[in-house]
Amino acid sequence: RLAFFSDCFQSTLSQTFEFVLPHFVLCLGLRAVCLIRAPSAIRHLASLIMGLIVIWVFVERKVMYFVVLAVVGYSGLLLAPEKRKGVVSSLLCVSFIMSCELVFTRTEWHQIRGSIMIVAMKTISIGFDVDDNRLSHIPGVLEFAGFVLCPANAIFGPFVQYKTYLGILTDRPLSKAWFYYVVRSLALAGFALAFSMCFWPWIFDRDVQKWLRAFTVAASFRYSHYFVSYLSETTSVMSGLGFVESESGDHWGGVAVAQMENVELPRSMVEVATSWNMASHLFLKSYVYKPARKLGIFSAILITYFASALLHGLNFQLSAVLFSVGMYAYIENVLRTKLAKKLNACVQARRSHEPEKMKYQEKVWWVVIINALFSALAVFHLAYLGSPFHADSPDLQEEGYSMQHTLSQWEHLNFASHWVALATLLVSWMI
């Protein structure tokens, strides 16, 4: 088994590095164009061309669908009436994603879904930013194309707003800090990939108890997500993202996409939901949740997770997991808010910014126990929700997981997590 881990580790890292090397080269190429202080139009054009090359390297001829989405989205922004550009662009992008579900085979769509979603999110953000006067006007054709197809985040993400993209194109000098954050992100990506592909399969084989197996499968899936997140941090910093301007001095501060420690050692499901992908959380919070909050918190949460499910495409497993996470987070937040008021203690789902207002602080022994129990509950939910991300057949992993597969995996675990969530809801009603 030790030989398996060693061989898996070496082969996985070497193959992955060869796979992403062209992406790294093109991101560094964009940084070089910006450092030589090329005219603004040239920088946007370089971003567009290098982004198209990156997409071609990964998906070949399907790059045309990225171009079509960019054209459709930009046309919608131009033709939509004032104060309706965000809504119109949202409808167009979601309709395009739904159409792709019908055009592509499941394997093909699974290959490009995440990258198409990034282009859609960028387009939608432009519409709402113009509606809310965060942008004074719609960017020009070249600026828009360079933004939505930027090589820094064309494949792995993360979502960035247009003003952040403009920061990438500045001639900010490189430094030891820049190099440190590139190496750091790349090292963490390698660590996460090794854990996902090699460590968990090496520690636990297929014959373990079903809940231990569920935990292993979920952990392997989570670490594959961290791999993509840290890889996106690497390409982003390579391209010039992560420069921080502050009163104490400008410096390279890196990019944070996922907060692994908050997911692996969660305080609550609320913390999991916000730390899983902070860029996507920013998008959903800014462009879906806040506008929908006038309908009420619960309705806004439902709309937010419904929008997230639509952006991910017609995939039952992802939709079911997303809605479950949303409901779990909402139920837990309600319960712990009530408990905090009843006990006058720091047991909220989020860490209090004003703990001094509570009589019993975080370090009181019984407060520690309560928070630890909720952390254990979150780990239990994560094991259950991640259990369907497992398939004996590689074809199933390439195609995506069906409703039947998802429900069968949860049925194998007696739908325990959903029953516990229902019990949590009943307790919150009774308090």
Residue 177 in this model has a pLDDT that exceeds 90: no
Lowest mean pLDDT among 21-25, 214-218, 386-390: 386-390
pLDDT band per the 50, 70, 90 thresholds, residue 232? very high
Q: Six-digit token pair at 338?
A: 């009530």
Region label for 313, one of left (φ > 0), alpha (ψ between -120 and 50) or beta (otherwise):
left
**Active site positions, annotated:** 312
pLDDT single digits (tens) 317-335? 888 898 899 899 999 999 9
Residue 247 contacts residue 356 (beta carbons within 8 Å): no
Q: Six-digit token pair at 211?
A: 């809940």
Backbone angles phi, psi at 267, to 5 degrees: -80, -35
Q: CA–CA separation, 381 vs 324, rounded Å? A: 9
Residue 162 contacts residue 73 (beta carbons within 8 Å): no
The candidate with the shortest Cα–Cα distance to 289, out of 268, 267, 274, is: 274
Q: CA–CA separation, 263 vs 413, rounded Å? A: 22
CB atoms inside a 10 Å sphere around CB 170: 13
Q: CA–CA separation, 98 vs 77, rounded Å? A: 19
Mean pLDDT, range 400-410, rounded to an integer: 81
Q: Where are the alpha helices (DSSP H) in 36-81?
A: 40-59, 63-79
Residue 315 contacts residue 400 (beta carbons within 8 Å): yes
Single-letter residue type at 141: V
Mean pLDDT, range 117-139, rounded to an integer: 94
Mean pLDDT, range 385-411, rounded to an integer: 73
CA 362 vs. chain centroid, Å, equals: 30
CB atoms inside a 10 Å sphere around CB 257: 25
User: The whole model's pTM is what?
Assistant: 0.91
Across-strand partners of 252? Answer: 243
Q: Six-digit token pair at 292?
A: 């929908």
Single-letter residue type at 311: L
Task: Name the strand (E) or helix (H) holding 210.
Answer: helix 210-239
Q: Six-digit token pair at 339?
A: 């408990």
408: buried, middle or exposed (CB in 10 Å: 19+, 13-18, 0-12)?
Answer: exposed
pLDDT band per the 50, 70, 90 thresholds, residue 9? confident
Q: CA–CA separation, 330 vs 349, rounded Å? A: 10
Residue 240 contacts residue 323 (beta carbons within 8 Å): no
Residue 200 in this model has a pLDDT that exceeds 80: no
Task: Name the strand (E) or helix (H) holding 20.
Answer: helix 2-35
Verify cis geometry, omega within 30 degrees of 0, for the bond prior to 158: yes
Across-strand partners of 244? Answer: 251
Mean pLDDT, range 242-265, rounded to an integer: 79
Backbone angles phi, psi at 168, to 5 degrees: -65, -35
Q: CA–CA separation, 303 vs 290, rounded Å? A: 11
pLDDT single digits (tens) 261-283? 999 999 999 999 999 999 999 99
Task: Name the strand (E) or helix (H) holding 244.
Answer: strand 243-244
Residue 365 in this model has a pLDDT that exceeds 90: yes
CA 169 vs. chain centroid, Å, equals: 23
Residue 222 in this model has a pLDDT that exceeds 90: yes
Q: What share of the chain has pLDDT > 70, as a percent?
A: 92
Q: Six-digit token pair at 304?
A: 């937010």
Q: What is the mean pLDDT of the chain?
A: 88
